């Protein structure tokens, strides 16, 4: 296993705001509020789906927009929550891209690279979906 030199570590800090509501803060100072699903805030599972879709969307956007600006770029991500003897988890997760480009040579170039861009993101580039698909240990500790 190799890591990215210099800036490999990623982390957030999580603070409880009230019952079932939290705010995550990243190292750059950005914040994101979420909750347990009692209101319209995102839940942790919805954030996972957002992270998977968002990671791949960024990859595909980088490759295709070098050729043409999309006229439509929508990514949908979903799956079923499973509760079984192994505990709670998500079942198979589907990521669906709906991307269109304008007519013309630049749009043709972007359309031509779109399938490869989606595949490369899934197979190699998207850190989030790769982490979910590969066995990744998660360690939980209680600080003193």
Query: Which of these ranges, 4-8, 16-20, 41-45, 114-118, has the smallest mean pLDDT?
Result: 4-8
| Count of H-run helices and E-run strands, the chain | 3, 5
pLDDT tens track for 70-127: 999 999 999 999 999 999 999 999 999 999 999 999 999 999 999 999 999 999 999 9
Quickly state the pLDDT bin for 5 (edges 50, 70, 90): low
Quickly state the pLDDT bin for 13 (edges 50, 70, 90): very high
Q: What local confidence, expressed as pLDDT, does residue 1 receive?
A: 56
Q: What local confidence, expressed as pLDDT, does residue 6 receive?
A: 63
pLDDT tens track for 26-70: 999 999 999 999 999 999 999 999 999 999 999 999 999 999 999
Quickly state the pLDDT bin for 144 (edges 50, 70, 90): confident
- Beta strand pairing call for 87-100 and 72-84: antiparallel
- Beta strand pairing call for 21-26 and 87-100: unpaired
């Amino acid at each position: 296993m190799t890591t990215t030199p210099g800036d490999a570590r990623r982390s957030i800090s999580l603070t409880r705001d009230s019952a079932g509501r939290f705010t995550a803060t990243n190292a750059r100072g950005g914040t994101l509020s979420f909750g347990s699903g009692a209101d319209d805030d995102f839940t942790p599972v919805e954030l996972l789906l957002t992270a998977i879709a968002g990671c791949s969307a960024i990859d595909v956007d980088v490759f295709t927009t070098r050729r043409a600006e999309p006229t439509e770029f929508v990514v949908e991500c979903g799956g079923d929550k499973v509760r079984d003897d192994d505990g709670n988890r998500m079942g198979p997760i589907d990521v669906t891209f709906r991307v269109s480009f304008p007519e013309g040579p630049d749009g043709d170039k972007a359309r031509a690279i779109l399938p490869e861009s989606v595949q490369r993101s899934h197979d190699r580039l998207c850190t989030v979906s790769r982490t979910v698909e590969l066995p990744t240990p998660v360690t939980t500790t209680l600080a003193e």
